[in-house]
């Protein structure tokens, strides 16, 4: 087996690529990854694709989607302080290499393996190690400062410790389905105060008189996809600058991912005035995009959190990951969970300095998680009913 490097997924057959990785994880599917490339979502924002693939004979055995980056935009694992330290030392932090799904802080496999072909863990680990060696050689050859593996499994990163990959942790807020019968059953697991607050927010959101529905991507018309993108882009124009995802990419998702992409559509007299976009696997729901025309009290909570929880319960999904950051999610049933990234630093002195920083940061993250759990919204005693 040998590693082949390419710069476009147009060179890889979609049906072969989709045999890799976790079952139905939407963000590593060929349609999503290549869609970003096809529809002008990458290079305008400093993401330059490099795909590492391994073939066994003519069969694709493993792959690692990477990007050469000239900035840290859209990664959501923040290393700006590292870049500034490099600059103060007279060194270049950019370009660097990132293994990630662009703009997508959703934990999943990054070392994509064909489990049908590689049936035992030893052979899968051999592939990961081979990919690691190829990537590090690539970084050294092209004088890239570092390699960063974002939002992947802790266990996979720890298995690569012989490659000088350092682990970093952060906190996200996820909801777990405790086999709830319905939304009221979920509310019954919360303390009285949190339960009342959620009911109040839902009443307020529905009191506006809007029609709120969730639809699968293959049932959303082209004109509605254009409106969804318009609302999403409007948030960026008002707050962040230019939207990264193009209208063509949104339509492409509906055409290709079909029922793996979902949208909550909020209509006022037939016109869509707010939306939230979700993706699903066999076990998880992922919330990723919000857009609205104007402020309506508690509508964001309804569209981005409560509609998602109801969907998970109705469809027996185990987890709901509504997106990065946001301690306000805690009181709405989302508990703090660690996320993980791995970092290889070429410059030895900086590698040592960053290793010391990561050790201190991990202690802070663990303390922060423990503090958050002290404010869990879930009932602790029968008196909380």
Phi then psi for residue 190, to 5 deg, are -90, 160
Nearest to 288 by CA among 85, 101, 43: 101
Predicted pLDDT at 100: 98
Band the pLDDT of 128: cuts 50, 70, 90.
very high
Tell whether the model's pLDDT for residue 208 goes beyond 80.
Answer: yes
CB atoms within 10 A of CB 193: 11
CATH 3.40.630.30 fits 178-317, yes or no: yes
Nearest to 61 by CA among 2, 125, 114, 7: 114
Predicted pLDDT at 380: 83
Band the pLDDT of 161: cuts 50, 70, 90.
confident
Please say whether the beta carbons of 292 and 235 come within 8 A.
yes
Band the pLDDT of 1: cuts 50, 70, 90.
confident
Distance in angstroms (rounded) separating the CA atoms of residues 136 and 97? 10
What would the mean pLDDT of 291-299 be, rounded to a whole number? 95
Answer whether 2-171+337-372 and 178-317 agree in fold.
yes
Tell whether the model's pLDDT for residue 385 goes beyond 60.
Answer: no
Predicted pLDDT at 136: 98
Distance in angstroms (rounded) separating the CA atoms of residues 242 and 232? 11
Q: Which two tokens stand for residue 57?
A: 């004979």
> How wide is the angle at C-alpha 94 spanned by C-alphas 90 and 97, nearest 5°?
140
Predicted pLDDT at 381: 63
Largest CA distance in the chain: 64
pLDDT digits (tens, 9 = 90+) for 229-275: 999 999 988 887 889 999 999 999 999 999 999 999 999 999 999 99
Residue with tokens 């927010």: 201
Question: What CATH number matches the domain at 2-171+337-372, 3.40.630.30, 3.40.50.2300, 2.60.40.1190, 3.20.20.80?
Answer: 3.40.630.30
What would the mean pLDDT of 356-384 be, rounded to a whole number? 91
What would the mean pLDDT of 289-293 be, rounded to a whole number? 94
Sketch the domain layout of the chain as residue ranges: 2-171+337-372, 178-317
Distance in angstroms (rounded) separating the CA atoms of residues 50 and 92? 20
Task: Give percent above pLDDT 70 in the chain.
Answer: 99
Band the pLDDT of 384: cuts 50, 70, 90.
low
Using omega within 30 degrees of 0 as the cis cutoff, is the peptide bond preceding 281 cis?
no
Nearest to 214 by CA among 285, 147, 298, 297: 285
pLDDT digits (tens, 9 = 90+) for 131-144: 999 999 999 999 99
Residue with tokens 């989607």: 65
Mean pLDDT of the chain: 96
């Amino acid at each position: 087996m040998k590693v082949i490097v390419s710069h476009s997924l147009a060179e890889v057959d979609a049906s072969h690529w989709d045999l890799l990785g976790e079952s139905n994880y939407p963000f590593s599917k060929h349609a999503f990854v290549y869609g970003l490339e096809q529809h002008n979502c990458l290079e305008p924002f400093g993401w330059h694709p490099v795909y590492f693939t391994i073939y066994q004979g003519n069969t694709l055995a493993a792959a690692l989607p990477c990007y050469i980056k000239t900035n840290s935009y859209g990664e959501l694992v923040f290393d700006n302080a590292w870049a500034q330290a490099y600059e103060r030392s007279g060194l270049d932090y950019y370009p660097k290499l990132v293994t990630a799904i662009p703009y997508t802080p959703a934990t999943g496999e990054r070392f994509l393996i064909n489990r049908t072909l590689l049936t035992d863990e030893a052979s899968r680990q051999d592939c990961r190690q081979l990919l690691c060696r190829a990537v590090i050689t690539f970084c050294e050859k092209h004088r890239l400062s570092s390699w960063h593996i974002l939002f992947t499994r802790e266990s996979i990163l720890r298995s690569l410790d012989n490659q000088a990959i350092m682990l970093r942790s952060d906190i996200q807020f996820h909801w777990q389905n405790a086999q709830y019968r319905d939304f009221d059953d979920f509310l019954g697991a919360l303390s009285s105060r949190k339960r009342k607050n959620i009911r109040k927010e839902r009443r307020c959101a529905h009191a506006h008189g809007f029609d709120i529905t969730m639809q699968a991507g293959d049932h959303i018309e082209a004109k509605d996809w254009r409106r969804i993108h318009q609302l999403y882009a409007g948030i960026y124009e008002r707050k962040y600058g230019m939207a990264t995802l193009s209208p063509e990419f949104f339509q492409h998702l509906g055409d290709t991912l079909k029922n793996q992409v979902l949208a909550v559509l909020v209509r006022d007299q037939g016109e869509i005035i707010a939306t939230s976009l979700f993706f699903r696997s066999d076990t998880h729901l992922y919330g990723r995009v919000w857009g609205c025309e104007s402020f309506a009290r508690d509508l964001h909570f309804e569209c981005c959190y409560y509609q998602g929880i109801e969907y998970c319960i109705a469809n027996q999904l185990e987890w709901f990951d509504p997106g990065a950051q946001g301690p306000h999610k805690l009181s709405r049933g989302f508990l703090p969970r660690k996320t993980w990234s791995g970092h290889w630093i070429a410059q030895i002195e900086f590698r040592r300095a960053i290793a010391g920083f990561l050790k201190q940061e991990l202690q802070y993250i663990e303390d922060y998680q423990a503090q958050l759990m002290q404010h869990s919204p879930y009932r602790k005693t029968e008196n909380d009913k």
